[in-house]
Amino acid sequence: MYDNPLTADVPLGPFEGTPVTVHSAKGRSAKLHSTTDCSQLRTAAVTEARVLLDAATVGRLCAQCWSWGPWTRSGSGLGVFLRALGGSGLLFQQQCYDGPDEDVDWDCDEVQAAAGFLRSATSYENEDCDEDGEARDEDVRHDAATLRDRVFDRRRAAAQSLHRAESIAEVFPWLEDWAKPKLIAKKQHLEELRTHAALFVDPAGLLAGAAASGMSEPDLPVSDPAFGALGKSSEIAKGLAALWRDWQHEAAGSRNGSTRPSYVVANLMHGIRSNRKGYDQTRSAAEQLVASWAEHARTVVVAADPTSTQLVKVTLREIKERTPHQPEHGFLHDIDSWTLGALVTHLTEADWGRRTLTLRVPTLVAERLLTNSWPLACETHDDDTAPANSDAHDPTSHIQPGVFDDTPVLERRPVTVEHLRALRAFTPDVDQLFIVFSTSGGAEVLPLTVIEKRLAGGWQGVIVAGASDLPASLIKPWAERIGARPESGTPLWPQPVPDADGPRFGAELGLECGEARAAWLAVDDRDREPNLRLLAILRGVHDLRTLDGGHDRDGHRRTVPKAVWHGLLAEETLDLEPFEPATGDRRGRGSGIPLGVLADVQIYTTNANPRIQGKGHSPLCRHSNERGVADDDDLLTPADLLGREDLDYHWCSKCGGYAVRRLTDTQLSYYRAAHRLHEIA
């Protein structure tokens, strides 16, 4: 692991002079710590101070606290900046892949020898060798292939490291001049790795692969009796079609023009006994057919103009970090060997920070890149030179004090798409809900994804606070009043009280029950307080459907945790019998009590229209995957339920068909009073 200390020469930019809270032992030269729990703080007499972040303070920072300690809230501007520097950020990336590593690297002679062997015909098969010769060749081929893979893997890792370093320096432009010497060294090493990787690529082989990729499926000799060993006519057609696909995939994916006809033919003959009548004849005919396809690809290459080239701009995908459900992907991952070969052979210009490469490639290669470039995004360049990136920076897009919560609200700066992109990149545990203010919409609570969409449409606003910004002086006493989750074996929730005269009648619909559910249904104790912070913010949202922020990278909705949805919505249905019309006959059940303050109670269901196929479910129902409220759910009121008689068969029998937004104390008191009056009547 590289040592990546924050040194006094690192420019702090607009964050220089920001007040931070530190802890230390007594003494002017004592190290400054971010927390009293630091193992390096070995004293009982700990002092707390508020100091300004400058070169003198940086020189006294505890190295362990710098690497792991929370110097400030991670979602603040300063927190984002420090996260971008620390961990696997800029200071770490500057020390990675800045030159050859004598422990893992190789010399140029080794690479040339391995590349020459793999390009030779004997690297795949040599029928004239004896068994000992075949074994020796196989060992050499294995070692050469291993070295080739190491070269490409190290180049990909070096390019990814340079991308991270350049993209961070671009977000914080005051770091660019300071980081420039290290970035130049990383670029030079990356270019050395590119030249080594290019030795394993045959430019003529790239042309052959491009030609094979562009070939259409030829007429297959289904009626040729030489293929009789494959079976019936339908089986022959199916087998030859698979043979074509296997060969085209093999030929189009090769970056050195080498193919393995015996490999694709073996797939065709798999499952057929070698002593079957016509076996040898069928195998020979298949090999001849594959050879004819390869010859046609060579004809296409010969017919192409070797002097005709074209500029192609390639945009790499963003890096998708490793998750519990998916390994790291994006960038240079998941790219086939032919495309990697084209990138290392024909690269002319690279902006790794913005993930854009410029290639000058033969027309045949350009046609393949432009028509079949997934997972890359390729487009043509009309000019002979790659467009120069402007050195001018938009000051409003910089992460600086005032964008998040580093300044009083009066001094907040409008948030931009670049701010949110940096927040996501450097703060994995970023809040997903924010209180925002704009002149067009006033104060609102919006998911981060919704803010991004609005910004793309020209919206202007400031971030007032996230859930983690709420005062602890309010949240902690609230959590203490709710108390700890009952021990295992103790019922979490009391049974509903059927008697309207009971003191807890209808309590399961109220806010107090919601608070307990949000706290006690947390994944672990660390989530209890964050859940209550979210619940406090969301109680003021007018329409819960606006909280739908879409899906995350794993395909799950994550804007609001499931426990918080249970804090906002009640799983129990409303008993509206007291509010039904009084018919005057003995069979009439209602008392005709006005809805009063209950008229505005919100009811959410996945489907309230009987004409649309599918029953209505609560957003908390297991049939709706307990996803919470989505933007396409239906919003009803108690008056809507009283006026319809077609919903009994339309609701889900498990959840009752809907979830009701928890009743305020006033609404719950009215609900109880109405039921008591109804029982008296």
Q: How confident is the model at residue 386 (pLDDT cuts 50, 70, 90)?
A: very low
Paired tokens of 196: 């080594």
Paired tokens of 605: 């269901």
Judged against a pLDDT cut of 60, whether residue 205 lies above it is answered with yes
So what's the pLDDT on residue 1? 41
So what's the pLDDT on residue 593? 92
Chain segment 216-253, per-residue pLDDT in tens:
999 999 998 999 888 889 999 999 999 999 998 888 88
Q: How confident is the model at residue 254 (pLDDT cuts 50, 70, 90)?
A: confident
Chain segment 536-584, per-residue pLDDT in tens:
999 999 999 999 877 654 445 568 999 999 999 999 999 999 998 887 6
So what's the pLDDT on residue 551? 64
Nearest to 430 by CA among 575, 549, 257: 549
Chain segment 414-432, per-residue pLDDT in tens:
999 989 888 888 887 777 8
Give the Cα separation of 404 and 423 in Å (integer): 10
Judged against a pLDDT cut of 70, whether residue 384 lies above it is answered with no
Range scoring the smallest mean pLDDT among 281-290, 378-387, 587-596:
378-387
Give long-range contacts, CB 8 A cutoff, 24+ apart: 18-21. Answer: 18/52, 18/53, 18/72, 18/78, 18/401, 18/406, 19/50, 19/51, 19/52, 19/53, 20/50, 20/51, 20/52, 20/53, 20/57, 20/71, 20/72, 20/78, 21/48, 21/49, 21/50
Give the Cα separation of 573 and 506 in Å (integer): 10
Chain segment 450-462, per-residue pLDDT in tens:
999 999 999 999 9
Positive or negative, the CA dihedral 281, 284, 290, 295 is: negative
What angle do the packed helices 176-198 and 131-171 form, to 10 degrees?
A: 160
Chain segment 639-673, per-residue pLDDT in tens:
998 877 777 778 888 899 999 999 999 999 999 99
Q: Where are the alpha helices (DSSP H) in 510-645?
A: 511-520, 528-538, 562-568, 638-642
So what's the pLDDT on residue 510? 94
